[in-house]
Amino acid sequence: MDSHSIRFALFMVCSLVGTVDRAIAERPSTPLRAGIIGMDAHALPWVQIINDPKTTGELAEMKVVAGFPGGSTDIPESMERIAANTQPIADLGVEIVDSIDDLLPKVDVVLMLSIDGRKHLDEANKVFAAGKPVFIDKPVAGSLAEAIEIFRLAQLHQVKCFSSSALRFAPKTVNIGEREKLGEVVGCDQYAPCTLEQHHPDFFWYGIHGVEPLFTIMGSGCVSVSRIHTKGTDMSVGVWQDGRIGTFRGIRDGQRGYGATVFGTQGIVQAGAFEGYEPLIVEIIRFFKTGEPPVTPEQTLEIFAFMEAADESKRRGGAPVTLDSVMQKARSLAAEK
């Protein structure tokens, strides 16, 4: 074979390899197989988004294929939602299974959506043992001590997880630092609905949807909380280590909604609203694909320490309570588990 023929043959081989490489790169990857634990909270609206055949982009990179209904018999809302949600979820192409053990072999990743935070430690332990990455819906646990134990077990099993309210990733909240009219954040007054549930610390049940965006806007570093409680309203005042103040107003009476007034060095702007579930779901999919959680355990634990300190302040008639004090107590309780 002469040199011209050899060069032509090499050109054809390289062209073929390049064509194959481009075909592989352009071929849609197989969506992640997700399993749901708990159908008594956000499961139905999330499956409606994720399994929508018209979904495109990152939202199309995961499909819910199996689900375990779960439920808590001592929370009427839980059982009502299980009864109402299970069949509509099945109709969206989700196989309903009888246990977490039945679920895990069928999926790559797990969405732990049980409304009852008390169940999350046992549920998470099973998921971690199976080596499946997991998103844990709010509240991450039924107590600060259990939250600490969940993250310890995740580290022990070398499994990635994270927890968040959808309000953390609302675009107007995420992009707060990019607003030229604001400057540096010097304070924030956040408000949100704050219904209570007898089996959970007060803000764990629903108030977290206000506390999470407060910390998203203010950042970490809260040192103490004082709380005023009435039948219809809670007002919690957090003091940050640099002297800034962030407040959470929990609403039970009157018109309810989500929002925040953010005070900056150059202006005052509005943020902290609910802007849909899609931004959080996209972050969850990115987490499953990269293994990098967008919220660290330390960030989540500080939020839950704030909420537990607010409960302690309520018990003390509104006296300030440090986050360090409730963290120390919770670590001692976690060590006993």
- Tens-digit pLDDT profile for residues 260-287: 999 999 999 999 999 999 999 999 999 9
Q: What are phi and psi of 257, to 5 degrees?
A: 180, 180
- Domain locations along the chain: 32-165, 168-278+293-335
Question: Tokens for 223?
Answer: 């040192």
pLDDT recorded at residue 336 = 87
- Tens-digit pLDDT profile for residues 287-305: 999 999 999 999 999 999 9
DSSP 3-state of 237: strand
Tell me how far apart the alpha carbons of residues 198 and 91 are, in angstroms, rounded to a whole number. 33
- Same CATH topology for 32-165 and 168-278+293-335? no
Is the C-alpha dihedral spanning 194, 212, 266, 323 positive or negative?
A: positive
Average pLDDT of the chain, as a whole number: 92
199 CB contacts (<8 Å, ≥6 apart)? 74, 75, 116, 118, 142
pLDDT recorded at residue 24 = 28
Nearest Cα residue to 83 out of 113, 42, 39: 39
- Tens-digit pLDDT profile for residues 163-180: 999 999 999 999 887 777
Tell me how far apart the alpha carbons of residues 31 and 253 are, in angstroms, rounded to a whole number. 44
Tell me how far apart the alpha carbons of residues 185 and 235 are, in angstroms, rounded to a whole number. 20
Residues linked to residue 164 through DSSP beta bridges, in sequence order: 137
Q: How far is CA 199 from CA 36, 42, 141, 240, 335, in A?
A: 23, 19, 12, 29, 22
Length of the chain: 337
- Tens-digit pLDDT profile for residues 16-58: 334 333 332 333 479 999 999 999 999 999 999 999 999 999 9
Q: What is the pTM of this model?
A: 0.90
- Tens-digit pLDDT profile for residues 205-246: 999 999 999 999 999 999 999 999 999 999 999 999 999 999
- Tens-digit pLDDT profile for residues 52-98: 999 999 999 999 999 999 999 999 999 999 999 999 999 999 999 99
Element at 37 (helix H, strand E): strand 32-37
- Tens-digit pLDDT profile for residues 308-330: 999 999 999 999 999 999 999 99
Q: Does residue 183 surpass a pLDDT of 50?
A: yes
pLDDT recorded at residue 334 = 94
Q: What is the CATH class of 168-278+293-335?
A: alpha beta
Is the C-alpha dihedral spanning 117, 122, 126, 128 positive or negative?
A: positive
| Architecture in CATH for domain 32-165 | 3-Layer(aba) Sandwich (3.40)
